[in-house]
Amino acid sequence: MPIDLRWMARGHKQHAIKEPHFVASQFHPNEIVLVVTSGPQRHGVFKAVNRTSAGTTVITTPDDQGAIVVTDLLISAKKAATSDITVQFNGGGNTVIIFLADSINSDFNIAIPFVGLFRGWADAALELVTTGNVVATATAGYMKVPKGLLFAEWDALR
């Protein structure tokens, strides 16, 4: 005997599921499937940046007093003598490196699907930094959260 379920988000006093969600397939065209998504799946976006010389490019910045949660990183670089590629959070005089590699010996391509919470602190930008004349691309999947922690609070949680 089928039953109807309505999931309620107690804190918001709203139905967690507002409409039936149908996912059709060739085998079960009328089957109803519960679809659950995470915050990054529902609210995540991405941005890609390129560098062809030494310097810093901002990938994304949070909204005022907000923070960035990195969900994925794709990084590629061509072989270049004395060159490094860094992806980092930077803000308020503090810098924390997420990824650092040299491209001295060979080209590289890497994809990192973060499972943990790679969240920056309030007003910390996500940046791509290169040294030397390396050709590098960084694509970041991320979502913005409206309120971030001060660096000292953020750092104490690590």
User: What CATH number should be reported for the domain holding residue 88?
Assistant: 2.60.120
Residue 32 lies in a domain: no
Cα(126)–Cα(99) distance, rounded to whole angstroms?
11
Q: Is 130 helix (H, G, I), strand (E, B) or coil?
A: strand
Residue 22 lies in a domain: no
Residue 35 lies in a domain: no
Q: What is the per-residue pLDDT for 91? A: 97
Cα(95)–Cα(77) distance, rounded to whole angstroms?
22
Statement: the pTM of the whole predicted model exceeds 0.85: no
Residue 49 lies in a domain: yes
Q: What is the per-residue pLDDT for 112? A: 93
Question: Tens-of-pLDDT digits for all 158 residues of the chain?
Answer: 456 666 666 666 666 655 555 556 677 767 666 667 777 777 889 999 999 999 999 999 999 999 999 999 999 999 888 889 999 999 999 999 999 998 888 888 999 998 887 999 999 999 999 998 899 999 999 999 999 999 999 999 98
Residue 17 lies in a domain: no
Residue 16 lies in a domain: no
Residue 25 lies in a domain: no
Residue of 93, 83, 102, 85 lying closest to 125 (CA atoms): 93
Q: What is the per-residue pLDDT for 18? A: 54
Provide the residue range defining the domain that includes 103. 40-156
Residue 24 lies in a domain: no
Domain count, the chain: 1
Q: What is the per-residue pLDDT for 42? A: 78
